[in-house]
Structure 1
């Protein structure tokens, strides 16, 4: 067996220092190596510098994907901070859809060696790298979570994640994330249409978190900025601000402006999954 460890950073490989937790070189690699079954070859791709997950983005997703592709014989563990785990989980799940690869994401709320969750999460990840079904999974809090459906719901507890079921992603056949400008925008009561327009003017596509089952402000100026953005080629995909239930176009008249302007229905997609879908769609053009 060959295990490929892609160590991007995150709390799991940190240690205490005078100014707080900081990345400790070699800490995670040593912990993995000590846990491997006999006869297992460990390959390690270590980011330098190690990253806080707040700094992880499309270029890093591409590096992870390229490294996975370069080792077709290996099972894969990707270490990652928890704060943007849902974005990277969606990115790898959708980009690797149909590949048959098994990739296990792993992180922790407390670093290795500090009597927290790191050791159990790492043990689970190593076992899953050998035995889990093909796909991209997160080893966390005693179970495997489908990485393409993650939502981080707690900033401190070991039970930090939940999942929202997602539709199966279409095969992407080696697509990488191109340099595009995308963002997740959230509607709030009283948000000026001009503010939404200013943000959309800088973007190639956007995920718009709307109210409930798919409602938005009944403001002609808001409709105008949506229509203007879409007419110039900016894709806008709506998702609900609610964790469960998704969108139902036509259920409320208050949502009619979204669909008449050409906003796409994201259904039950999480904001992370919708953003990745748009990014890969644009990258394939």
Structure 2
């Protein structure tokens, strides 16, 4: 019988109705009681009780420390978490806990577990099954899918099919045959090292027609040390009148890395294809390729936390650490 740990942090899954709206109140033990008998030896530790909108870099570090602390005492760990920032947490944990020796599975729900037709029981059962059977790594389990944590995005606000695995298939899905694995997670060599050094002074900007590039310098002057720009299509940026391309070049010269991702959820950015992308590339923009914005911002925070300079960040984004990016598309 696999020995598993549930670390509960709050979120909708643990929420109850209050005068001010849904508030996380249920303990991890109360979540487990709702599931009935499971074929695992499960222990529970309540480490936070927060709506995930309030989970920030300080909580990421604390969660990573708790996982690292307990990882060798269990065959797998389930982290119950609110859905709104779960993809960010999953991405950041992937970088903070590289080479983790066990599966760590995040899950939550769209409806509190104490509601009759909640999706919480199925999601929790799936998460425990994943924690008992997946290869080591950071995962997100939701609506009959197990996904690599650094590839997940929340795409729906109310539907039970809230998360998707972007640009790679889910690791596994539940069918009438049980848990069917669709891809094997890349194995990494070396021992797990806890590294929670990050620099959260970054920004995520969605480019739109009329965006004033001077706003980027205002961010830099306010302490922003790196920027992810969700550019058009394959990574194109305007250079007529409001010259985003020139602004990128100036920021790079100031030592501020600029990552160019795509506003399109699926497929990759490719700065080499169009003039508007090539000019940005020549100025030093770094392509995010097919990374999610959540993963790109987490990777940038982590890179800056390691004191990487612009050139080192560029090399770092040309590296696949935890399955966050496809490098064989080009």
**Scaled by the length of structure 2, what TM-score is found?**
0.79
CA gap of 1:4–1:205, structure 2 versus 1, over 3 A, is: same
Change (3 A) 1:168 1:249: farther
**Cα distance, 1:284–1:243 mapped onto 2, change above 3 Å:** same
How much has 1:70 moved relative to structure 2? 0.9
The 1:133/1:190 distance shift into structure 2, 3 A limit, reads same
Match of 2:262 in 1: 240
Partner of 1:81: 82
**Is 1:40 aligned to 2:41, yes or no?**
yes
Q: How does 1:1-285 map to 2 (within 5 A)?
A: 1-26=2-27, 28-32=28-32, 35=36, 37=38, 40-47=41-48, 50-71=49-70, 72-74=72-74, 75-114=76-115, 115-165=117-167, 173-201=193-221, 202-219=223-240, 221-285=243-307
8 Å contact from structure 1 (residues 2, 43) kept in 2 = no
Q: Output the CA distance in 1 between the equivalents of 2:290 and 2:186.
A: 12
Q: How far 1:263 sits from its partner (Å)?
A: 0.9
User: What are the ranges of 5 or more consecutive residues in structure 2 without an aligned counterpart?
Assistant: 169-184, 308-330
Q: CA deviation at 1:270?
A: 0.8
Check the 8 A contact 2:14/2:31 in 1, yes or no: no
Q: Point out which structure has higher relative CO (alpha carbons under 8 A, 6+ apart).
A: 1
The Cα of 1:31 is off from its aligned counterpart by 2.4
Deviation at 1:10, TM superposition (A): 0.6
Q: Distance in 1 between matches of 2:186 and 2:195?
A: 17
SS where residue 122 of structure 2 aligns? helix
Q: In terms of mean alpha carbon deviation, does 89-98 or 32-41 score higher?
A: 32-41
Task: Quote the Cα distance in structure 2 between the aligned partners of 1:267 and 1:12.
Answer: 33
SS at the partner of 2:73?
A: coil
Distance 1:207 1:223 in 2: 14
Distance in structure 2 (CA, Å) of the matches to 1:253 and 1:225: 16
Number of positions where the alignment pairs a residue of Structure 1 with one of Structure 2? 282
Confirm or deny: 8 A CA contact 2:6 2:42 kept in the other structure.
no
Distance 1:41 1:169, change over 3 A: closer
CA distance in 2, matches of 1:169, 1:229: 36
Give the TM-score of the pair, scaled to structure 1: 0.90
Deviation, structure 1 residue 240: 0.6
Contiguous gaps of at least 5 residues in structure 1: none
What is the rounded CA distance, in whole Å, between the counterparts of 2:186 and 2:227 in structure 1?
Answer: 21
Say which is worse superposed, 188-197 or 104-113, in terms of deviation.
Answer: 188-197
The DSSP-based 3-state class of the residue aligned with 1:218 is: coil
In structure 2, what is the Cα distance between the partners aligned to 1:148 and 1:241?
17
Q: Larger deviation: 171-180 or 189-198?
A: 171-180
Deviates more, 1:53-62 or 1:164-173: 164-173
Residue 108 and residue 38 in structure 1: after superposition, are their counterparts in 2 closer, same or farther (change >3 A)? closer
